[in-house]
Structure 1
Amino acid sequence: MTYLQTKVSLPIPKVLDWNDDPSNPIGSEYIIQEHVIGVQLHQIWPKMNSEQHMLCTKMLSLEMKKMASLDFPAYGSLYFSDAPIDTNVKIPFERGFCIGPNYSPIFWNRNPADLELYGGPSPNCGPWKDLTSYCLGLIETGFSRLPKEDTSHKLLPHQGSVQDHIRLLKISQEVMQKLVEDKRIQDAATPTLLHPDFHMRNIFVSAEEPTLITGLIDWQSTCIEPAFIYANQTPDFAALPEEPGEDMFESGQSEQKPPGCKEREWKDASICYQTYDVCMKGLAPKLRPARLLDPSLFRLFQYCHTTWRDSAAAVHRELIELAARWTELDLQGACPFSPTEMEVKEHARDYEDFETFQKLKLWLKRSLHTNSDGWVPNDKWDVARDAHRAAYEEWIQTARESESRGEGLTVAKADKLWPFDAR
């Protein structure tokens, strides 16, 4: 926050006091910031007209352009020069600042849903002076998240064994080493600092003039990443609307207007999406190369470290598709991964289970108005619990009927695929 305030004009709240020593008189690290005037964008967005939506999207894109204009010599996180970290993990930067280990949740295992990993950092948190070293950090993080004891009794059908994950991580490392040799990927990997959670709940605007940005909050996980990590993310204020179809598991985002979506809502969202896309391609030179390239070139970098969380089927899919499209994507030499016909067939079965799991989870999130981990506000708990129970019974009944017909979805398998702990 201090660095950005000295370099560019952004509505970042002033820090009144802070302390990162848990032995202080309060007994905890803390930060006290000035009060941000205005209202959260998500509260006023439904009341804004189409022109205001477009102008607000443009103004927010310009704020991102300011952040993306700054140059850095390495990937990692910003620290004050006198930060109490080892000097061998400090890369000198501008006066008063240095680049040190990446403190994003990606490398520090701070997801409450992964209690067995919580608090244990990756053995390689950086900083990294080049893309090859950064990729090694991702791979070592992936290895660090594999369980140390037998968990086969509670694995999802498509999870894959620990040995499967070890093999896929080793293959991913070989493929990524080949990818980083590509000039296009190097050009799209410029060290870039952007707000990591640039969404409406973290953006404050004037209640009287909602196109005036009054505050940006929630900076704690801000890191310097390869530009392509940020480039193909779309903030919620510029995202195309998603609408579930009639089928319980029908979902997804499309350039075509979803059935039942209001014409005005779709047109409005499309204008915001196009405004954001044009700004990122035309005004943010660091992001432009990645936004113009096929996203398949970057997915492995984004997901290889989450193989255990997302299942072997997910990263296996990326590797198989990349191998199949290697020549089409104009990648040089031979792909280090060449799956057998049997491997592709077995993967297709596992990926079907993976898709079922993801669609089921998405349907539940929408139906219960929860997030990916199943969190709901206290005042909505009773209603959500009853709705969750009814949804589970409906899912198990579907499995009973499938099993009675001799199809693939059994009750035991359906129970394992259920994404939340409660039954």
Structure 2
Amino acid sequence: MADTQAGTTPAPTPSVPEYPMPRDLGCPLAPPPALEPLRDGQPVSKVRIWNGSTPWLITRHADQRTLLTDPRVSNDDHEPDFPHVNAHRAAIAPHTPKLITNTDAPEHTRLRRSVNAPFLVKRIEAMRPGIQKIVDDLIDTMLAGPNPADLLTALALPLPSLVIADLLGVPYKDHALFQENSNRVLDSSLSAEEAQASGRALGQYLDTLFREKLENPADDVLSEMAGRVKAGEMAHEEAVNMGVAMLIAGHETTATMISLGTLALLQHPDQLTLLRESDDPKFIANAAEELLRYLSIVHSGLRRVAKEDIEVGDQVIRQGDGLLFDLHAANWDPQAFPESERLDLNRPARQHNAFGYGPHQCLGQNLARLELQVVYGTLYKRVPTLSLAAPIEQLPFNHTGTTYGVKCLPVRW
């Protein structure tokens, strides 16, 4: 019989919030408001995801950096309790080959080493003049066209697509195919079958192209991987799947940062003025870092699983428990970035977690940084009267992809 004595009412069951969390539509560039009290009061706490499981949510900057470098934290999405981002990722995972995105050392180390060279700082920096020309040409075309224009289709999407296509050796004439299918693979609103079909289409396309590179290599990443396949350092399937992963990752995130970064600057005209009037490459580079920190566009969280028990503060993460790392919460952590809610292009922001952290930190971060530096250092000087052509509250935001951004950005000048 239940205890009904006075003053002995049952203790309430703590509520477990759903994740990802809804944003405040009145503050679309800020993290979901429910993250702040968790980070400040329960920085390691349970959340509920799409399948009813309750992984741990890690929200503090320092905790994320500690755990993302802990070898007991696994990136292997073949593990049974891995907290997949959605149903179709869970369905695809058992059939997904080993990549740098889903393996741990030593396999991850071998795979990463096989594709790391083209993304090193020196080789990426050599691409600056070419990227500058692409940006200038796209701005010229935009200025010669209709006013207003959609900055997403005029600049934000074509730039990274052109750059990653050239780097990999993928014909840009096929950009519609890889853009559409890449977006569908990452769209949580689609069924597993739809996502798998788009993944297969990309795989078949890259396989055909890779076979051509094996016969007729050129000066591009796919040809470099073809050489590694011939040398027995990589399997053919590994190279093709790595190419698919780089093609997907190489355009969506940068396109989102160009458009959302521009929106953020238009909402902060004092900071936009600083950027427009500066010719200092170091200031422009730091401005890109601050915008990366402020926006943290990967909004579905980095996902991992514990291979052993791990103590974090007063919590014990058990072997097999899932972990989610909310990058936006960490990048707005006042312990790491005082007055973190303020966009400040003079803030030393390089220690943000927007690219993740540790051995799985984004392979293409140097390329993304370069593209952002060129755009942020060029667009607002070339188009000093750039402004929004629609109120921010009327802009359509994408809540279902891996990245959070606008579906279009109408601008006038």
Shorter-chain-normalised TM-score: which range? under 0.3
Select the structure with the greater relative contact order (CA < 8 A; seq sep ≥ 6). Answer: 2
TM-score normalised by the chain length of structure 2: 0.23
TM-score normalised by the chain length of structure 1: 0.23
